[in-house]
A and B are shown apart, each in its own frame.
Chain A
Amino acid sequence: MTVESSAARKPRRTAAGKAGTTGSKTGATGTKRTTRTTRSTAKKSTDPDLVQLLTPQGERVENAEYDGYVAGITPEELRGLYRDMVLTRRFDAEATALQRQGELGLWASLLGQEAAQIGSGRATRPDDYVFPTYREHGVAWCRGVDPTNLLGMFRGVNNGGWDPNGNNFHLYTIVIGSQALHATGYAMGVAKDGADSAVIAYFGDGASSQGDVAESFTFSAVYNAPVVFFCQNNQWAISEPTEKQTRVPLYQRAQGYGFPGVRVDGNDVLACLAVTKWALERARNGEGPTLVEAYTYRMGAHTTSDDPTRYRGDEERLAWEAKDPILRLHRYLEASNHADEGFFAELEAESEALGRRVREAVRAMPDPDRFALFENVYADGHALVDEERAQFAAYQASFADEGGH
């Protein structure tokens, strides 16, 4: 009897639970920083619980823990983040409009969450694996998934629409929190393989109430899995506020599982980038899971079927609009002279072109072949599916026999 291969047993990672068991408020203890830079001109962040690098006014603030992760960022990269957010928002607006025009059955808008998604998405490496919920259009963008592919399931022509292994971006998961376990299992596999990539799972504040998310925290901690849990706390799970999900700030949940939790300003793309890079680096270094709570706001409805005016007032929305993720980077780019009028004008034109492309692509999307119903139900086939496909074919053919269409 052979014993398992040594490669599979080799403890590539350092001891479990080393980091985060003592945990400061940000949970960042026990972790090495590669670089630490501070800007002499930067202000200090006022809220110690919230990692913030850019204020809503677009001012750069100092953060000793995380500045190092964006220290080398170039003006071009900053413009890139801005472009990502603008195009993602444009895409989202187009999809919402297409739903209103009857072209899509449903749409889950990401409006307001662009920084959380672009910041975290741009922190990933191509060999990392992403497990999204159904609102991660910005992360999909960062992973190189063509945005038109995201619309198939909302139009009703498929239940997925892309090859998950094409961009290491798993299919959208509709059941709340299920994918956190898939991410954890995948990360357990990454560790077994001795690979140095990481896995990131997205979910919302509502999902934090789900057993699967709690179980994924347990499994990832026990097996020291290289996974980052990226919770976008957008304040609302359809009509239920975060207070209906938890009595403690969500990031603090991690402590009970033995790994660090951090709350980041989810409307600050730089902070999201930095904190996610840090968490992914921990995973790669064998330091196990991290919970990142991106504190943000869903500016629109839960989906196009929802009516937020029934459960929340304008005041709240207006307060969050003042913290708009795109606006603050715009202000910073202008104030720091990292972008000029030409850049913004060019981006505006690019946005319009994207909107047009998406609109045309959706309208041109063919309905699936009717026999697709029976495709891929099983990998190895199934006698009943074969039988029913044959019956279906005979039924379809009967119309032709009658001289129909």
Chain B
Amino acid sequence: MAEKMAMAKAINESLRRALDADPKVLVMGEDVGKLGGVFRVTDGLQKDFGESRVIDTPLAESGIVGTAIGLALRGYRPVVEIQFDGFVFPAYDQIVTQLAKMHARSLGKVKLPVVVRIPYGGGIGAVEHHSESPEALFAHVAGLKVVSPSNSSDAYWMMQQAIQSDDPVIYFEPKRRYWDKAEVDPEAIPAPLHKARVVREGTDLTLAAYGPMVKLCQEAAAAAAEEGRSLEVLDLRSVSPLDFDAVQASVEKTRHLVVVHEAPVFFGSGAEIAARITERCFYHLEAPVLRVGGYHAPYPPARLEEEYLPDLDRVLDAVDRSLAY
């Protein structure tokens, strides 16, 4: 029975379902218990599942991920919350040197089904370290999977799939979309976790995005339609692995690609997409793959973030440039 719910609520319901279904699933993090998380994503879970399933941890990110690895080695399936994007770095060592590699090091004997939830991205007027998009830093590491839903339904289902995965999954939650509502059908048959989806069909140019930028791209496509341009919008959903087949299929149709993300453009996921699509679709492309994203600068103070973040005009400018070739 489908129900309209905000993304934060959808993740909450998804965690609830997972905790209910499997006694080995744990939720861990700073403030996830009584408070329900600073965004209330875990609201009410500790009340219903108890302190040993929904665990308030000490303020130590490396400790959270490191102990989650130990719990996973013992057969648990921890879902840990890093409170904000910029706070993941104390845990980066555990994620990169341990979580990502232990399955390979053990020649497959050890599985680490750990989900690391990271509310990420800007647009909410936060102070520094609360608005970053570090997904490329994780996608670069073999052994990790990196996903980011753009809507409530995906948030719900991708969380189910991430928890069921035997691989560590970095689950980036676009915090500025937490309060956007959409239908969630808990009985639906979800798309595979790493499959991209065309969210708007078009013929003139492809906009590829994930997480918080999908909505922006949909708005851009709507605005472009008023100017008589038909843009296709692709929600990548997964950054690693990335569904290049879907991007290729779209580009073979539209012959133009603009990738949009909040993270800095330099060495970002857009660079990887541009390179691979150029390899795959060189003779189909009528313009170089263009990228719209953040600048090579620290994420700015809140009063400047609107300048930093991709907005409608920057996306449409890129569309104009691409189509002008």
Contacts and interface: CB of A to CB of B under 8 A. Distances in A.
B48 interface: yes
A175 interface: yes
A48 interface: no
Most buried by B among A5, A170, A183, A192: A192
Interface in A380-399: 380, 382-385
B23 interface: yes
Interface in B51-86: 51-53, 57-58, 60, 62-63, 65-76
A279 B75 CA distance: 25
**Interface range, A side:** 35 or more
Contact of A163 (B51, B68, B106): B106
A193 interface: yes
Contacts of A377: 103-104, 142-143
Given A186-B73, A222-B58, A384-B241, A178 B105 contact: no
A171 B105 contact: yes
Given A4-B49, A159-B104, A215-B58, A185 B75 contact: no
Contacts of B65: 181
Contacts of A285: none
Interface in A1-37: 1-5, 8-9
B105 A181 contact: no
A363 B93 CA distance: 35
A186 B109 contact: no
5 contacts: A1-B48, A3-B49, A181-B62, A219-B67, A375-B107
Interface of B: 16, 19-20, 23, 48-53, 57-58, 60, 62-63, 65-76, 90, 93-94, 97-98, 101-111, 142-143, 145, 165-167, 194, 240-244
A9 B54 CA distance: 11
B71 A378 contact: no
A375 B108 contact: yes
B49 A378 contact: no
Nearest to A183: B70
A250 interface: no
Nearest to B74: A189
B110 A164 contact: yes
A289 B186 CA distance: 43
Contact of B63 (A165, A219, A379): A219
Contacts of A212: 62-63, 66, 93-94
Contacts of B74: 185-186, 188-190, 193
Interface in A157-200: 158-160, 163-165, 170-171, 173, 175, 178, 180-190, 192-193
Nearest to A218: B58
A211 B62 contact: yes
Contacts of B142: 377, 385
A376 interface: yes
A187 B70 contact: yes
Contacts of A181: 62-63, 65-67, 69-70, 94
A163 B109 contact: yes
Nearest to A383: B241
B167 A8 contact: no
Contacts of B51: 9
A395 to B, nearest CB: 16
A156 to B, nearest CB: 13
A215 B145 contact: no
B103 A164 contact: no
Contact of A9 (B52, B103, B108): B52
Given A160-B106, A188-B71, A382-B241, 20 more contacts: A8-B23, A158-B105, A159-B104, A160-B107, A175-B93, A175-B98, A178-B66, A178-B93, A181-B66, A182-B69, A182-B98, A184-B67, A185-B66, A185-B67, A185-B68, A188-B70, A188-B74, A189-B70, A190-B74, A380-B165
A170 B73 CA distance: 10
B66 A379 contact: no
B167 A380 contact: yes
Nearest to A181: B66
Contacts of A8: 23, 50, 52-53
B62 to A, nearest CB: 6
Nearest to A192: B52
B160 to A, nearest CB: 14
Contacts of B93: 175, 178, 212
Given A8-B52, A185-B74, A178 B97 contact: yes
Most buried by A among B68, B69, B165: B69
A222 B72 CA distance: 19
A376 B108 contact: yes
Contacts of A378: 103, 143, 145, 167
B106 A215 contact: no
Nearest to B193: A380
A188 B78 CA distance: 12
Contact of B20 (A2, A178, A192): A2
A207 to B, nearest CB: 13
Nearest to A217: B63
A126 to B, nearest CB: 16
Nearest to A195: B74
Contacts of A1: 16, 20, 48
Contact of B167 (A178, A215, A216, A379): A379
B73 A219 contact: no
A154 to B, nearest CB: 14
Contacts of B58: 215, 218-219, 222
Nearest to A184: B67
Closest 9 pairs between A and B when the two form their complex, measured CB to CB: A185-B70, A181-B66, A189-B74, A185-B67, A215-B63, A379-B166, A186-B70, A376-B108, A383-B241
B104 to A, nearest CB: 5
A6 to B, nearest CB: 10
A9 B60 CA distance: 24
A178 B69 CA distance: 10
A211 B97 CA distance: 15
Contacts of A182: 66-67, 69-70, 73, 98
A281 to B, nearest CB: 21
Given A181-B63, A185-B73, A382 B240 contact: yes
Contacts of B244: 383
B52 A159 contact: no
Contacts of A186: 70-71, 73-74
Contacts of A188: 67, 70-71, 74
Most buried by B among A3, A164, A185, A216: A185
A211 B49 CA distance: 31
Contacts of A222: 58
A337 B164 CA distance: 61
